[in-house]
Amino acid sequence: MKLERHKANPILEPRGDGWESLEVYNPAAVCIDGKIHLLYRATGEYVKYISRLGHAVFDENLNLVERFDEPCFTPDLELWEMSVEDARLTPLEGRLYMTYVITPTPCPPYSVRRRLGMPLLPQARTRVSLAEVIYESGRMSFQRLGIITPYGSNQRDTVLFPEKIGGQYAALHRPSAWIGPDYPTDTPGIWFAYLEYGRGYPAPTIRMHGHRLVMKSEQRWEARKIGAGPPPVKTDKGWLLIYHGVDQNRVYRAGAALLDLEEPWKVIARPPEPILEPEEEYERVGDVPDVVFPEGTVTIGDDLIVFYGGADVVCCAASVRLDDLVNYVIIAPGL
């Protein structure tokens, strides 16, 4: 089974000569009052390579309603945020939360550095922070809650579950440094963890605990690494997880898996084939070629709409009947 691309892809492209002039990609998504809100990563220059988040609004047919001229979320230098990247949005207990990647040493991807003749500079390990999103009068503001991933684990692709697991808040994360003989995987995989408040000054901190490996690379198309895409979608047959996989040629594809509702570190089903892979020009040609990177979903009627970045330059959408995808994951051959 393959997702069906939206006929108007790409749905967002770079514009102007400022903060979003080069790349707009990897959109988080949430549906509020019949409107689909995307928070997308945007960059406007390569040297410092600072990413900010933009905000665009679509109707349920994916017609663009509004796209704000200024970024809605920018790095906070006092918190060593030189770049804010790859957000995910999760409604949870009547509130809206955002996970996002931070780094004090942002750097363009290898393909861009090679094209422009830029040297490779030492890079700090990335971490993931959490913020609460306040939505008022069509706009979003944010209250930062702090870093949530373990120090030194080199994190991206962290998503919250939209409800508690076993009475506790929970997340999936991708610690790239947790590989090798001391860990149950040789390549970066997807892990489960609980979240809890810990002691801190001047405010409590949020820490992860109870880590369990959920999935590691199995197929050739995901041999290099895998990572969670959008937050898990609850169905009556399990948590539907859309994830990305990267092969040894650095091609990014999207796959699907079904996790147990009560113990989501247990995989119920995982088809061996991807559900979306780079085929169109806007997915194959860009700052990072051959990339589809799923990062947001919304459910409209019977359909699941998946929002993804194409080649690290544009925002795109694809859809499928939710029940059809869940049934495919369960019965796909080769399990």
Architecture of domain 17-331: 5 Propeller (2.115)
The 10s digit of each residue's pLDDT in 122-174 is: 889 999 999 999 999 889 999 999 999 999 999 999 999 999 999 999 999 99
Q: Distance between CA 19 and CA 68 in Å, rounded?
A: 12
Confidence band for 90, pLDDT divided at 50, 70 and 90: very high
Q: Distance between CA 27 and CA 316 in Å, rounded?
A: 9
Q: Put the strands of the sheet holding 139-147 in their side by side order.
A: 83-92, 95-103, 127-136, 139-147
The 10s digit of each residue's pLDDT in 231-261 is: 999 999 999 999 999 999 999 999 999 999 9
Mean pLDDT of all residues in 285-307: 98
Q: What is the pTM of this model?
A: 0.97
Mean pLDDT of all residues in 216-230: 98
Q: What is the pLDDT of residue 200?
A: 62
Instruction: Say yes or no to pLDDT of 335 above 50.
Output: no
